[in-house]
Structure 1
Amino acid sequence: MIALLTALQIFVLNRITLFGKFTPVLYPVFVMFYPFFRNRYVFLGLSFLLGLTIDAFLGTWGINAFATTIVAYFRTIIFRTSTDTSTDFFSFQSLQWSQFLFFILSSIFFHQLVVQLLEFFKLSRFFEVFFNILATSLISFVFILIYALALKIKQKV
């Protein structure tokens, strides 16, 4: 799964530029849809390696590794706040579609916030960076939604 997402991101999606500036990001779906009750340390390690592999091909010096690991670390909190779930049992099957979509959007927005702030942030460019975060998040959301629908993630995980 990680190898496929990495190859798809590097060799296909990174060659797509929408509106002359925005590249869709799909590889964080690994973090979003990794089963909740597996070994947390293995999950964090795999998330770091995924981001580091993307960084190696893009030459971004650990930005994607950091962002992917941060999203992985806070995934349970993102899930609980975006879905209003207070139970200890997490399942995408039990979510309403609006909650599922909000979880995806929240996760990708948080990921892009970390990436863009580390890569481009200057106080003088605040609005430009914020617009880039919003645009990239929305474009990536569409690609992730297509991926989730094609693989029927909501029904499986």
Structure 2
Amino acid sequence: MKRLGIISVLLLIAACATRPPTYNRSWAIFDADASEGNAAKLVYGAPNSDDIDLFAVCDRDAKVFELAFFTADSRMSVAEGTRTQLLVGPPDKVTPLMASVQYHPSGEMMVVARVGLPPTFVRDWAGKRVTLAGQGTAMTLLARPDKRLIEDFLKRCGA
């Protein structure tokens, strides 16, 4: 029953405001630069560019997983630091995360969630379209991450 309620909320949010679909997107994984600490990054966006829809960072030293996605709201209508909920996952296994609103230096609004390592719920993304919803925006990532990519990311996270 709880899962049905979460899915209903996700669909309601999607009906209110949805980012337009973006094509020519893919998943990538890499280790952070030494100046950024001991971290692995998982991103979804346009290849070889800064045009990113979602990024996940595992900071192995701090034992923290951070997940962020850019919303459709570019009017800065929500105060930075506002607490919200981020729903993420394939439709059959939605994970609710406590999150907050942050502004990227580009001026775009992001919904950012932080949880402890290991982020094992990421394993549920393998081979499925991932949907994110939070702060009035919903987005479905069209490219499906393959199981090897997810397992490699979790391994780099220490899971």
Same-fold call, TM cutoff 0.5: no
Task: Answer 1 or 2: which has greater helix percent.
Answer: 1
